[in-house]
DNA sequence: CCCTGATTCGC
DNA sequence: GCGAATCAGG
């Protein structure tokens, strides 16, 4: 699978929206997060909000980089480090690293008292189609089957489980409470 | 150990 | 140009 115009476009879109590389990779399919990152860098749209000066790091390989010297050119780094200070830098985390998938939806177990009317928020790739399910994607169904809005959670599934942590807890919840006397509790 | 992005380098 | 391997960090 190569990078179509559409895929690149989608890549840019998702990346700009703050999705992680792995999420984008999962979304695009057929590519790994490495591929996504590599492409992102090649496109020149990297440097989301890093703080590390990213000094030239020698690789463990026998072949020494031997890149000493001219590499700090004025045009070398797209995202100039100097502006990192002037720019409102985030405390520590970039702000969207991971956990984005956890924001999916949790109407099941969450109290969900206030029906948030945000109809446009949640830029996250809300769920995924059955085609996008992999061994590591949460298969928790959401929505009304048969309707257009039906989809799967698509979050990161735990190894050995078809669901993510959130939904796995729901799915296997009875196990913990499976006490014999507990039966009388709710009968 | 899970994840994140960054970089290098063989292809 | 591509992306796996690797690195460095949270």
Q: Is the pTM of this model over 0.75?
A: no
Instruction: State the DSSP code for A101.
Output: G
C1' of B9 to CA of A58 (Å): 12
User: Closest CA to C7 C1' — which residue?
Assistant: A59
Residues 68-97 of A with CB under 7 A from strand B: 94, 97
Q: What is the pLDDT of residues A45-75, one digit of tens each?
A: 877 654 434 444 454 443 434 333 344 334 4
Q: What is the pLDDT of residues A72-94, one digit of tens each?
A: 334 433 433 333 333 343 333 34
Tokens of A63: 């072949």
C1' of B5 to CA of A119 (Å): 30
How far, in Å, CA of A20 to CA of A36, rounded?
10
């Amino acid at each position: 699978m190569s990078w179509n115009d559409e895929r690149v476009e989608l890549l840019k879109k998702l990346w700009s929206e703050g999705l992680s590389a792995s999420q984008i990779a999962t979304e695009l399919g057929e590519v790994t997060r490495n591929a996504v990152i590599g492409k992102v860098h090649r496109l020149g749209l990297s440097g989301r909000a890093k703080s590390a000066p990213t000094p030239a790091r020698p690789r463990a390989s026998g072949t020494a980089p031997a890149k000493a010297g001219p590499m700090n050119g004025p045009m070398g780094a797209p995202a100039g480090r100097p502006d990192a200070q002037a720019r409102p830098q985030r405390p520590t985390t970039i702000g969207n690293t991971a956990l984005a998938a956890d924001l999916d939806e949790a109407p099941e177990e969450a109290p969900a008292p206030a029906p948030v009317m945000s109809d446009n928020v949640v830029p996250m790739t809300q769920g995924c189609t059955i085609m996008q399910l992999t061994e590591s994607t949460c298969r928790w169904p959401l929505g009304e089957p048969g309707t257009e809005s039906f989809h799967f959670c698509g979050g990161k599934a735990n190894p050995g489980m078809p669901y993510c942590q959130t939904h796995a807890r729901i799915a296997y919840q009875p196990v913990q409470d499976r006490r014999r006397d507990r039966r009388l509790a709710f009968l």
